[in-house]
Structure 1
């Protein structure tokens, strides 16, 4: 059993044969059940112009979930700084934190949230990709504005999202907790976290290095059932390997009929070997090994499967077979002032 806190990432998949409105209804139910299951926090990802993932602003989903839950921490995993003015982010998340004290997280990331270049430019009002310096300035400005301009109490808890050593370096420089996207770039995880810990500078936000690792987790009663449930996301990933984000999220039956190339099959197998897909015993071992390798302070699970019932069942099985009872009641680290 793992004694670390466990959390969840919601990516709001729009399932084949359903509507965006159906997905929104599922997200509300998912938030209530994740709270009931004892997960520490629930974050929402920002995506745009994808047939597989709903374009639902994290700040709106956070507000909606906060109104129907009472204890789970809610946040962005993340909002993408280049798409938003720092003052707007500070105002939005400062307001949420004041309305829902000690429950709001501000996870900030860099990517455009889309594979469509015209959509990315529209989000940035015609501007091109952000530079490293611009991204750093945006993150720093958001943090400064939270304190100096918004100045509500309490403040949201800020995190920096990263899938690379460059992102880890910025988190270390700014003294922020890091949420590492092992579910996206698992080959970068260990080197990036080593750099983060070696170069961390304490700040008003975080007194010591603090690491959350996000891992794709699909848990079912058997290996075969877990593989079946993970199949639809394999189809989406095969598209991403080609630089395409226009694949809808298929049903398990549609995924089972999909023909993968030999190269895709090899790449997908290598990726899955670094995630946690399988029976409770397999998932427990994979997550235990990941904690040992990364020395994570917290695990965040993302479970991109087709139906809400199967997704919740995965989180329930992890809660029953992997999470130690103390993991659900771990205290939130206070923010040094």
Structure 2
């Protein structure tokens, strides 16, 4: 299956990308590929609004729309997060659980006019895995964010899964950072800008502009940062096509994933397209 998923991010460093707008545009420009949110962040939206928006998309583009739901505010900036929630603070566990349940209820009881979007729950913790299992939802596991949690999350989800109208048995997408290039050196070069951003996050700097590969190549990483970045990259898929294919196959086998979702955070659009072309060929 081929799916394009858009993310609900709000950042001065990278911009804002409302998934429902991007999905509508992509759906109108294509005819077969699946499209979805990866994900839309429930605390930032009224549940009925999400149900109406994605229900409408599914009615206009039957059997092509996925509704990936997550919890993160989509920004590290506290003021932006409060604006998104109209002054409210971070959602509690109970509020988030209620929001997800309300979205599903509105889809069925208020919105349904034909094919519904397929709901997924984004998970990076055992709490998210437990909620996805209890609601009987497919799970998208954020290996590209918290790879050390992946196997614990999967174990919790599969052990506690309850079949539902949405899903009869556990279904898993594992999200992986994947950067392909003709050589190992070029792949490392392309990965450099995201390394700078990750190093900033390690120091609590959340809004670092995405640098060029040339600027990233001269960034003064500390020894501790280099060690942390190397450990993270070893759990993702970065390198030549052959190396990345082996890594993705290993990850799919180790996790038992039904699908892999790939994110390629490189600076140059042509390089990103080239990376996906290499993926398609292999």
- 1:85 deviates by 0.4
> Within the alignment, does 1:301 sit opposite 2:262 as a pair?
yes
Give the total of aligned pairs. Answer: 282
> Within the alignment, does 1:227 sit opposite 2:167 as a pair?
no
Q: Deviations over 1:153-200 (max 9, x none)?
A: 100000000111110110000000000110000000001001100000
Aligned with 1:318: secondary structure? helix
> Within the alignment, does 1:142 sit opposite 2:108 as a pair?
no
Structure 1 residue aligned with 2:6: 44
Structure 1 residue aligned with 2:35: 74
Question: Aligned-residue CA RMSD in angstroms?
Answer: 0.8
Q: Deviations over 1:26-74 (max 9, x none)?
A: xxxxxxxxxxxxxx100001111231x2202000000011111111111
**C-alpha distance in 1 between matches for 2:40 and 2:201:** 21
Match of 2:66 among 105, 108, 131: 105
Structure 2 residue aligned with 1:37: none
- 1:122 deviates by 1.0
**C-alpha distance in 2 between matches for 1:162 and 1:102:** 23
Aligned with 1:158: secondary structure? strand
Structure 1 residue aligned with 2:198: 237
> Within the alignment, does 1:212 sit opposite 2:173 as a pair?
yes
- 1:315 deviates by 1.1
> Within the alignment, does 1:317 sit opposite 2:278 as a pair?
yes
Structure 2 residue aligned with 1:9: none
- 1:244 deviates by 2.2
**C-alpha distance in 2 between matches for 1:50 and 1:152:** 38
Q: Deviations over 1:117-165 (max 9, x none)?
A: 1111111111111111110100000000001011221000000001111
- The ranges of structure 1 where at least 4 consecutive aligned residues each deviate by more than 3 angstroms after the TM superposition are none
- 1:262 deviates by 1.3
Give the stretch that moved more between structures: 74-83 or 305-314: 305-314
**C-alpha distance in 1 between matches for 2:11 and 2:242:** 37
Structure 2 residue aligned with 1:170: 131
Aligned with 2:195: secondary structure? helix
Higher relative contact order structure (alpha carbons within 8 Å, sequence separation ≥ 6): 1
**C-alpha distance in 2 between matches for 1:107 and 1:244:** 27
Structure 2 residue aligned with 1:117: 78
Aligned with 1:77: secondary structure? strand
Summarize the alignment of residues 141-290 of structure 1 with structure 2, pairs less than 5 Å apart.
141-290=102-251
Summarize the alignment of residues 123-134 of structure 1 with structure 2, pairs less than 5 Å apart.
123-134=84-95
**C-alpha distance in 2 between matches for 1:282 and 1:122:** 43
Q: Deviations over 1:210-252 (max 9, x none)?
A: 0000000001111111000111110111111122221111111
TM-score normalised by length of structure 2:
0.98
